[in-house]
Structure 1
Amino acid sequence: MKKVNGQEIIALFEKWSPKRFAMEGDPVGLHIGQLNRPVDKVLVTLDVNEKVVDEAIQQGVNLIIAHHPLIFRPLKNILTDTPQGRLIEKCIKNDISVYAAHTNLDIAPGGVNDMLASKLGLIDTEVVEQTYNEYGLGRIGKPAEKMTLKQFAEHVKSVFGVPTLRFVGNPEKVIRKVAVLGGDGNKYIGAAKRSGADVLVTGDLYYHIAHDAEAMGLAVIDPGHNIEKVMIEGVVEYMMNACKEAGFNVEFLKSEISTEPFNFI
């Protein structure tokens, strides 16, 4: 098995989820460090916070692959007595590079939205909204069995292991087509409705968007943004198989840190 550097690992990753798939302005790619150093261990996480960085240090990780960008807006300074500055300092001092794959991983075939659709048991899936590349955002498909909105909401709650969720619509509405879009799907209720969805499963639903969805006859289920953590297992599985085929000697670890910021009562 061949020892590899970060550049070789990311080149393999980007065959699946190239940066050109990302939505305009999305800050995907390398955020901290460099890719021309040897890499033995890669940690895959939804978010990068200080607990995740501490986990990476304890595990002897050289590279973190995250879904949500650590640096979403340009920094004016790096002050190491602030939470973000302290996190960046820890990464640099411990030679840990951080790479983000966001909307490109959402859009990629087999990426986050396909992972979510698979978890929900959807069949005959298609893209919800075409983007400027050959693929698109969100997935729409049929549930494995006919359910009411209330029953399907319970199904969503169960498969994603969330303690609670919100939904909009008549609980007795029959669900025949389901759209799913990881993260913040507020901009896409119209696209979901046009695609023929009875319900959209997405996160971070705004109050007034909920009213709009209700008015257009679209049910919405909001199990939270954190369900995108399905990407951890998906990325680890994909990359372990890809590295094995390429003869790369590198270990992929699933982050065990919960980055859900909310508590529920």
Structure 2
Amino acid sequence: MDPTVCDIIDVLNSIAPPALAEEWDNVGLQVGDPGRPVKNIWVALDPTYQVVNAACQQNIDLLITHHPLIFKPLQFLDFRTPEGSIIDLAARHHLSIFTAHTNLDSARGGINDVLAGRIGLYDLKPLARAKEPQRFKIVIHAPREAEQQITRLLFQPPTETGQQIKGASSLMPVNGIVAHRPTGTILYEDQIRIEIEVVTGDLAPVTKALAEFQSENQIRYDVGPLIAPDQGTGIGRVGTLESAVDFKFLARNIKKKLNLRHLKLAGDPELPVKKVAVCSGSGASLLADFFACGAQVFVSGDLRYHDARDVEASNLGLIDIGHFASEHLIVSVLTERLSDIFADLKKNLNVKACDIEKDPFTVL
């Protein structure tokens, strides 16, 4: 039996958890049927019309992209617009499109780790730590006969946020629980203990449902916040070079290692460099984090004139390798990673990197 789109999404979410995505981002399934079987997968940077059309011609079932097809909610769907024409094309060919964007930027082993590794950085730390949602543990004690009702209550119906409760859960029988009755008598009962973890957005609807259930049944539940360990996740990375070099040598080395035709740099070419910060994609918003991290050089894309002036005035260095070059390297890496995972799972899936993409900018 072929895995479904939903099965592939579960694997992708384990690589790049959606909770790591920035608040403004739109990650996950953009177009498609979660229950549709999948045999052929493409990985690409952008869901452009050219890429989607080629995927349809190649009978691809699932297109995985880094950049979202839909950034903002659509008020209506006009097939004459660029977005609408892509959605129309994908729907007519039963092509599902899934996006892992800023969550893949932040995740361990994601784009920023890959970029930093290619440059030759070690001892990596996030440039800006991920803002993971607060998680809570709910512990429920209930009579054994209530087990199925509670399970249906928690895991089958969607919550008010539109999501099913997911995450760590356990069911543990507790024999001989001491139950205190209002009369002061003690009765030994056969009970169960259920533990679930929920994020802040799911806490209110879950506790509301439990409170309503509690009023009609003999259950008890406790809620407590969890302290999440540092996962080393976040936008950008800061790392050290094996040995100190001057800024000009570093820039030339990056150009060679990333196979770039050109790059831009600002700063003193003779600046000694030992610590470097990187941010895939557009890194201008992390300039303050760069100044605070102690690195001598910042490597990113889409950097602006005044960013260069600010870095120059601080006697630091800036290297703009371009948006496309800083992110496209994840395509081959993710393709190989997914192929290995599905091979280990003994899933007969054909995962390929889209080979028709190129940087939209041309330098004359």
Specify the TM-score bucket, using the shorter chain as the normaliser. over 0.9
Could you tell me how far apart the structure 1 residues matched to 2:315 and 2:291 are?
8
Could you tell me how far apart the structure 2 residues matched to 1:239 and 1:211 are?
42
Deviation at 1:256, TM superposition (A): 0.4
> Residue deviations 1:152-207, cap 9 Å, x none?
11122222222211111101111111111101111111212211111010000011
Deviation at 1:147, TM superposition (A): 2.0
Q: Which aligned pairs between 1:172-251 and structure 2 lie closer than 5 A?
A: 172-227=270-325, 228-251=327-350
Amino acid at match of 2:8: I
For CA contacts below 8 A with separation 6 or more, give which structure has more relative contact order. 1
CA contact (8 A) 1:47 1:259 kept: no
Aligned to 1:258: 357
CA contact (8 A) 2:268 2:316 kept: no
- Structure 1 stretches of 4+ moved >4 Å: none
Secondary structure of 1:52's partner? helix
Amino acid at match of 1:126: K
Secondary structure of 2:242's partner? coil
Amino acid at match of 2:15: W
Deviation at 1:10, TM superposition (A): 0.9
Could you tell me how far apart the structure 2 residues matched to 1:261 and 1:85 are?
21
Secondary structure of 1:220's partner? strand
Of stretches 134-143 and 106-115 in structure 1, the one that deviates more from structure 2 is 134-143
Could you tell me how far apart the structure 2 residues matched to 1:38 and 1:196 are?
49
Amino acid at match of 1:207: Y
Q: Which aligned pairs between 1:73-88 and structure 2 lie closer than 5 A?
A: 73-88=72-87
Deviation at 1:81, TM superposition (A): 2.4
Unaligned runs of 5+ in 1: none
Q: Which aligned pairs between 1:1-265 and structure 2 lie closer than 5 A?
A: 3-133=2-132, 134=231, 135-227=233-325, 228-265=327-364
**Paired positions, count:** 264
TM-score, scaled relative to structure 1: 0.95
CA contact (8 A) 1:163 1:264 kept: no
Deviation at 1:71, TM superposition (A): 1.1
Deviation at 1:68, TM superposition (A): 0.7
> Residue deviations 1:48-94, cap 9 Å, x none?
11111122123210011100111112223322223322222111111
Could you tell me how far apart the structure 2 residues matched to 1:147 and 1:54 are?
46
Could you tell me how far apart the structure 2 residues matched to 1:128 and 1:83 are?
35
TM-score, scaled relative to structure 2: 0.70
> Residue deviations 1:85-135, cap 9 Å, x none?
222211111110111100100111000000101111111211112121342
The percentage of counterpart residues that share the same residue type is 35
Could you tell me how far apart the structure 1 residues matched to 2:312 and 2:118 are?
25
Larger Rg, first or second structure (1 or 2):
2
